[in-house]
Amino acid sequence: MPYSTQTDLERFLQIDFTADPDPTVTQLLDWAKAAIDNYVGRPLDAATGIVETVSPDGAESFLVTRTPVTAVTSVVEDDQTLVDGTDFVWTTSGLFLRGSKTLRARWTRSRNGVVVTYDGGYATIPEDVVLVSTRITARMFTTAAARANVDPTMIGVESISLSGSDQVKFAKAVNDVTGHAMPLDQHERAVLDRYRRDGWL
């Protein structure tokens, strides 16, 4: 699911779409999510039963991808199921340590030697991420709308008047909308940096 909604976009742009959901907006919201996931290095939304295969190479710890980790179903090392709290400990930041809280050990050196099954991600997307998603979507939408000039009956929003400009008309399927996508700006990157993989620990 996208990190923001059509309602978020309507409030941000102060316009109302006649179609709900509007197909163009739906696509833009999905692209905004993809841009955020790509930047932070993982999906942020919650998922259950995630299975990851890890090659710890004898290290004391490793990281899984989907954080925050909310539950761990199983950890299997070299085909042996380990006991939580005795054989390993984990943190919500996705760190898995071999051993217990009082006794450290090392993970196997076997390639793909550890299989972790867990739940992770945000059940409720943080508000700052929602804002970034909405900003990205709004930027793509307004840029595409400003460049298009087609029959207004083809779009959920028939027309929009921008202050100091002529009326803008745009199509339901805006041509080359991907070409209008802009990179994350410095403020959006600053917000998302706290969710990046290298900022977990």
Burial 66-104 (b: 16+ CB within 10 A, else e): bbbbbebeebebeeeebeeeeebbbeeebbbbbbeeeee
- Report which DSSP code applies to 45: B
Report the pLDDT value the prediction gives residue 142, as an integer from 0 to 100: 86
Report the pLDDT value the prediction gives residue 183, as an integer from 0 to 100: 75
* C-alpha–C-alpha distance, residues 15 and 167, integer Å: 14
- Report which DSSP code applies to 173: S
Report the pLDDT value the prediction gives residue 152, as an integer from 0 to 100: 41
Report the pLDDT value the prediction gives residue 101, as an integer from 0 to 100: 85
Report the pLDDT value the prediction gives residue 149, as an integer from 0 to 100: 54
- Averaged pLDDT, groups of 10, the chain, 201 residues long: 96 92 94 95 96 97 96 98 97 96 94 97 97 95 70 47 50 42 83 79 42
* C-alpha–C-alpha distance, residues 87 and 39, integer Å: 34
Report the pLDDT value the prediction gives residue 143, as an integer from 0 to 100: 82
* Residue that is written with structure tokens 């030697």 in the block: 113
